[in-house]
Amino acid sequence: MDCRRRWRLGSGAAVVLAAALVGGSTMHGASGPAASQFIFESRPQVDPLRCPSQGSASLTTSGAAKDRIPAVDELNAAAVDAGRMPASLPAPHLREDVRRGFALPAAGGQPLRVGVWGDSHVAAGFITDDLAKQIEAKGLAVATRIIPASIGRPGVRLPVRQVCKGGWQLQPAYNATATVRSGPSLSNLRSTKVGDYLWLDLRQRADRQVRSVRIRYLPARAASALGVKIDDGTEVRFELSRLRDHQPVAPGVLDLRASSSISTLKLRVLDGEVILQSVSLDYTSPADVTIDVFGLPSATVNGWSNTDAAYLRQSLDSNAYDAIILEYGTNEGAVGRFDASKYAAMLGSSLRNVRLAFPDAACLLIGPTDRGVRVPQGPRKGSIDFLKYSRIHQEIARIQAGVGAKYRCELWDWQRSMGGTGSIYAWARATPALAAPDLIHLTPSGYRRSAAVLAQSIGWSDPRQ
């Protein structure tokens, strides 16, 4: 067989080629729901990834901190309770139909598929990690199916062993100025530079072996090509699908399978513009529950409003999720003057698109945590409103409850589960600390505590005794 033979695959073709016979070949990608499948020779014992050196950026420090956590006497003077942690609060009650949507399957039954979107609170992965542990304690297997375009971004932690990324530009939908065709993470990973690379080591757990991956991308108008290497084998060049005038836009798909399991995946831009949207994983042993996390630091729910919902549905498998979680509000409230009416309109527009994409999924909105105000170092003039953001977050949760009900999305009030307005100060002073010094985020212990309460609400753990 001629190793340089060019294979032309029509749209929707399902052609299988043995990689051991076609090293260095060129493939033409197919767009549409069916994909071209390519079989690589796997090498399960390949060495762990070692990222290429990209130099070290010089770090500068600003000296002493410019502000601090307020002292207890300052809070007491402002009638803000910063004393002991509140007694254990009952888990927020959810409607029975929502709980049914999150119901765990019996071992070997129909898998439960859950998608989680949000900002930095879920991007860090601590909440979903603990939820997975709650499920595994019941003897069920949990896995992640989709690696989002946000992989490799600071603050995004995903269940892969290693990520190496050189070049590429993340394009989130939440700050877009027009409707965008994005993948499931509501963002795209774009490159126009030959040599930009993305490497993944998929051996995060010994009991989760990947047998195939599906790469979805947004076709470009000009010719483009992507190099793919599995387990340090021969790189294969894929000519990507192109946008055609007067034809509907559908995600381009590359289906890659290995002779056994896949350990490492290396992608490299070879020509033109490449816009990656997701990498889906298929395991040798299917999981009972899959939890896909699409958290992105700085994100707002506006990403849903800016996303082409019809295209988003095409970028996912049919009936992709039985239940979805949308965690937003912190970044929407980080403004000098919060406009409740504008936020309600944006939330309504966003949830409309959510329901276009997932008409039947059980839907849970998670409101923002409580948030505090740090104080300047040294003497200051005037008083400080220590509950400024607490009240904004309380208003955001109220709006989420009202607007969400119109779209069959129920609110899980995170701030209230912490103890209400001002609770962030007690969480920051707890031992061990449950809130981070910025009085916005939580510590890993704080996220775990919140995850335990959330698990009770959705029925994934028993109530505390």
The 3 state secondary structure assigned to 166-211 is ECCEEEECCCCCCCECCCCCCEEEEECCCCCEEEEECCCCCCCCEE
Q: Are 287 and 141 in contact (CB under 8 A)?
A: yes
User: Each residue of 254-284: pLDDT tens digit?
Assistant: 999 988 899 999 999 999 999 999 999 999 8
Mean local confidence (pLDDT), 370-396? 89
Mean local confidence (pLDDT), 186-213? 93
Indicate the pLDDT class of residue 3, thresholds 50, 70 and 90: very low
Mean local confidence (pLDDT), 316-326? 88
Mean pLDDT of the chain: 87
Q: How far is residue 59's CA from residue 112's CA, in Å, rounded to a whole number?
A: 45
CATH topology for the 70-141+287-465 domain:
Rossmann fold (3.40.50)
Q: How far is residue 375's CA from residue 377's CA, in Å, rounded to a whole number?
A: 7
Q: How far is residue 119's CA from residue 100's CA, in Å, rounded to a whole number?
A: 26
Cis peptide bond prior to 432, omega within 30° of 0: yes
Q: Where are the domains of the chain?
A: 1-40+152-284, 70-141+287-465
What's the Cα-to-Cα distance from 28 to each of 10, 61, 197, rounded to whole Å? 8, 50, 20
Q: What is the CATH superfamily name and number for domain 1-40+152-284?
A: Galactose-binding domain-like (2.60.120.260)
On the question of a common fold for 1-40+152-284 and 70-141+287-465, the answer reads no
Q: What H or E segment, with its residue span, contains residue 116? A: strand 112-118
Hey, CA dihedral for 214, 218, 222, 227, is it positive or negative? negative
Q: Are 403 and 329 in contact (CB under 8 A)?
A: no
Instruction: Give the chain's radius of gyration (CA, Å).
Output: 24
Among 49-63, 152-166, 243-257, name the one with the lowest average pLDDT: 49-63
Report the Cα 445 to chain-centroid distance in Å: 21
Among 48-62, 222-236, 329-343, name the one with the lowest average pLDDT: 48-62
Hey, CA dihedral for 330, 358, 93, 345, is it positive or negative? positive
